[in-house]
Amino acid sequence: MTEKLELLEEHRSFDGVQRKYRHYSTVLGCDMTFSLFLPNKEEFETPPLVWWLSGLTCTDDNFTHKAGAQKKAGELGLALLMPDTSPRGDGVADSEDWDLGQGAGFYLNATQEPWVRNFRMYDYIVTELTGIVRDTFGLTGPESIMGHSMGGHGALVIGLRNPGRFRSISAFAPIVNPMEVPWGVKAFDAYLGADRESWSEWDATKLLAEHDGSTQTPILMDQGTGDSFYDGQLQPEKLVDIATEKSYPLTLRMQDGFDHSYYFIASFIDQHLEFHQKYL
């Protein structure tokens, strides 16, 4: 158990520094890691913060190593924060299935056994990790949030559930309606139980449909037409239809031939960072 924040790695990256930390999470009841990119502190003393939430099976390393975001973030003066995707460790509940358990936290607060003790990724991100980066690194300025696939779901849900906190939201190939697709149904049934009414607070389509319009956070979504999960798991048009009905500022860009991989993310990450910088 790591009581204090422990620096695991530090690398100069373009005009900034890329770090990886470990700490004990009281919310999740286990050690957790997160990665943090900070732009040149002499030029950007208190940079705006962009959160990145990764997808199924990923850790905080996937985006850090594969997305190629550090150069543009350094140029724009943006800090990037990458949490892990779930609690982990020998004492943490898990499944033999790759899309459930460790690596598949779905950015919610579980209510069912054996998940309820550790799987509270929503509270971890919104409260505990937020407090750490504000208190330790002074990242108290404006924030935006983005993510991929399961992490796109997380970015949309966290952004919509916290109106006014995030200046903008973006997502690559997000799961927009988890209540109605196999990945989401499997996870929600395990983590939240059979009462489907309780699922709606973790579903972006339900949250946007019930949004009162008082705070409208701009949303950008990119979806590859070559994504094998597009029809069965993602279905971004469902969220677009609701946004259109409510005159909500959401843009969906269909990217011809791109799949679900980090090659897709790396191809458009600079544009997403520029999108966020406009509002930060």
**pLDDT reported for residue 4:** 87
Q: Could you tell me the domains of the chain?
A: 6-278 (3.40.50.1820)
**pLDDT reported for residue 42:** 75
Q: Which residues pair with 120 in a beta bridge?
A: 109
* Distance linking the first and last C-alpha atoms of the chain: 36
The sign of the dihedral angle between the CA atoms of 274, 275, 276, 278 is positive
Instruction: Write out the two tokens for 170.
Output: 């973006």
**pLDDT reported for residue 1:** 54
Q: How many CB atoms lie within 10 A of CB 253?
A: 12
Q: Where in the sequence numbering do the catalytic residues fall?
A: 149, 227, 260
Mean pLDDT, the chain cut into blocks of 10 residues (280 residues total): 84 97 98 97 86 98 98 97 97 97 98 98 98 96 98 98 97 98 98 96 97 92 98 97 96 98 98 97
* Amino acid identity, position 254: M
Q: How many CB atoms lie within 10 A of CB 9?
A: 12
For residue 4, the Cα-to-chain-centroid distance in whole angstroms is 24
DSSP state, residue 11: E
